[in-house]
Structure 1
Amino acid sequence: MKIYNQLSEFKKLNNAVVTIGTFDGVHYGHQKIIKRLCELAKSTGGESVILTFFPHPRMIIDPENQDLKMINTIKEKAEILANLGVDHLIITPFTRDFSNLDATDYIKNILIDTIGTKQIIVGYDHRFGKDRKGGMNELQQFSKVYGYEIEEIPEQDINDVAVSSTKIRKALLDGDVSLAAKYLGYHFSISGPVIKGDKIGRTIGFPTANIFVEETYKIIPSDGIYAVTVEMGFESGDGSLEFKPTTHNSQLTTYQGMAYIGQRPTINGMTRNIEVNIFDFNREIYGQTIKMNFLKFLRHDVKFTGLEALTEQLHQDKRDTLAFFASNPA
């Protein structure tokens, strides 16, 4: 999949099959649109194009609201879309000026003159342009002028399980990663470089890798202990515009583990940590990027009377995690 960080980087296609949206989470509903996009492109000899936006439009239109967090970082979204078979991903910087582009200019300047759109796939009630005034009426009106076709995915086809990014965010903030996975069609994950901690875990037999999440807009699940799988061995990017599906990376290694999110109240911690005890693993991996896939919530964060009580509970947490993996083999 080729990635473009500006519309100006994109070279106009002869037969672009296009869909538009933020696609946060790339959940089941989104995947139905994208699957149809790729099918149509293949059947017509065209190329599939997704036009998405970063930052999320709500972050620009309502900058005072700091509560909105994203299910995916932009890199995670690109990885998922690559695995779904998309040919081109255009990541358009969403600005005030862009938000003021009226529907007519949006269609002509972007969809037609820049991308070369021949077919458009949209979800029901898709809105675009200044004040979100553009919709199916405008797309249909100009389809005869510019010679493109439109296909709208019906509401019942997208929301057959009432999926929405809002519901997924709520599930994650409640710690219900199992429900989030049901909506997403994959396990929610967090990625980041491993940084040095205070190494208290080593002293009690549970060394952890502390993960630094650089993207402040990334949603973090509720505090607690989780059963996770840990992937490492990511290739460093070479700066190209290509994003290969992860299935092409034969060096990826996966481990089981248990993750902790919280402020470590037993030792009067002051910052919120994200760390993972990786089972059957004893290498130093500072600076390496790892990915944690959240499979199951085990328990809430608790303040114990001391390290001895905490250690006893961690042994139980590990037994619970191993029991989960034993009953849920990959």
Structure 2
Amino acid sequence: MKIYHNLSDFKKLNNAIVTIGTFDGVHFGHQKIIKQLVEKAKTAHGESVILTFFPHPRMIIDPENQELKMINTINEKAEILKRLGVDHLIITPFTRDFSNQSPEDYIKNTLVDNIGTKHIIIGYDHRFGKDRSGNLADLKAAGLHFGFTVEEIAEQDIHDVAVSSTKIRQALLAGDVSLAADYLGYPFSIFGRVIKGDKIGRTIGFPTANIFVEETYKLIPGDGIYAVTVEMNFKSEVISPMTDDKISDSIISFTSKLPASDFQLRAFKGMAYIGQRPTINGMTRNIEVNIFDFNEEIYGQDIKMNFLKFLRHDVKFTGLEALTIQLQKDKEATLAYFESVS
């Protein structure tokens, strides 16, 4: 899949089969539409194109609203679309100037002159142009003039997409990562960089890697303890891979930072913590992971955590001794989970 970060980078196609959307999560509902797009491109001997926007339009139109959080970062989304067989992904910078185009200018400049659209698959409720005044009827009328056809996504399919996105966000905020995975079709993940913490975990036998997520718009699950797998790149001779085939199959490898030829992606089991560490009167919300059977220094390393099961809510304990006892129970519960799915 070829990725373009601006319309000006895209070379107009002779037979572009296009769909448009934010596709946050690229969940089962989105996947149905995207498979439809890819199949149409094959039968029409064309090339599939997804036009998406970044930042999310609502972040530009309503910048004061900090509540909007995305299931995927733009890199995560691109990786999933690549696996679905899309030929071209255009990530258009969404700006106020872009949003202020008339529907007619948007169709001519973007869909016709820039992309070369011959067929577009779009929802009945798709809106575009200044004040979102353009609609499906405008697209169909323009298609007759410019020579492209319009295929409408069924209302029920659009409804399912909206409902699924809402349910996924609700599930994640409640910590129900298993339910979220059912809707997504893959485990929810967080990609971030290992940073230095206060190393309290080391003093009680549970060292953790503190994760910094650069993308502030990324949705973070509810506070608590989770069974996770952790992916990271190492030189091939350093560390043996996780051999549990069942868990390995559940992993979705990240490619936003491709390894050099002498590096290899490895996966490990662990338990993650999200919360403010109330037992030590923590002041900030942390994302930490205790990686099992692992003692390498990985400060500055980019890692990916796949959230597989919620274990318990965050609790304030009477002290570090009580916390340590509970963490041992959490580890046993995590290992039992991995054993149950092996």
Contact 2:75 2:256 in 1 (8 A): no
Contact 2:210 2:287 in 1 (8 A): yes
Partner of 2:32: 32
Contact 1:28 1:158 in 2 (8 A): no
Partner of 1:148: 148
Secondary structure, counterpart of 1:58 in structure 2: helix
Give me the TM-score of the superposition, normalised by structure 1: 0.92
Tell me which of 244, 251, 266 is aligned to 1:253. 266
- C-alpha displacement of 1:39: 0.8
Number of residue pairs aligned between Structure 1 and Structure 2: 322
Distance verdict in 2 for CA 1:44–1:165, change over 3 Å = same
Partner of 1:170: 170
Tell me which of 287, 291, 301 is aligned to 1:278. 291
Give me the TM-score of the superposition, normalised by structure 2: 0.89
Contact 1:258 1:277 in 2 (8 A): yes
Q: Match for 1:206: what amino acid? A: F
Q: How does 1:1-330 map to 2 (within 5 A)?
A: 1-159=1-159, 163-233=163-233, 251-329=264-342
Q: Match for 1:290: what amino acid? A: I
What whole-Å deviation, never above 9, does each CA across 1:133-186 have from its counterpart, x for those lacking one? 222101111111111111122133454587432221121111111111111111
Extract unaligned runs of 5+ from structure 2. Answer: 236-254
Contact 1:32 1:158 in 2 (8 A): no
What whole-Å deviation, never above 9, does each CA across 1:244-266 have from its counterpart, x for those lacking one? 999x9992211111000011111
Distance verdict in 2 for CA 1:249–1:13, change over 3 Å = farther
Secondary structure, counterpart of 1:252 in structure 2: strand
Q: How many Å separate the matches in 2 of 1:7 and 1:274?
A: 36
Q: How many percent of aligned residue pairs carry the same amino acid?
A: 77
Q: How many Å separate the matches in 1 of 2:207 and 2:38?
A: 44
Extract unaligned runs of 5+ from structure 1. Answer: 236-241
Secondary structure, counterpart of 1:251 in structure 2: strand
Contact 2:234 2:263 in 1 (8 A): no
Contact 1:79 1:245 in 2 (8 A): no
Distance verdict in 2 for CA 1:95–1:141, change over 3 Å = same
Q: Match for 1:302: what amino acid? A: V
Partner of 1:239: none
Over the aligned positions, Cα root-mean-square deviation in angstroms equals 2.2
Distance verdict in 2 for CA 1:155–1:328, change over 3 Å = farther
- C-alpha displacement of 1:72: 0.8
Q: How many Å separate the matches in 2 of 1:243 and 1:311?
A: 36
Q: How many Å separate the matches in 1 of 2:161 and 2:31?
A: 13
Contact 1:257 1:321 in 2 (8 A): yes
Q: How many Å separate the matches in 2 of 1:273 and 1:212?
A: 8
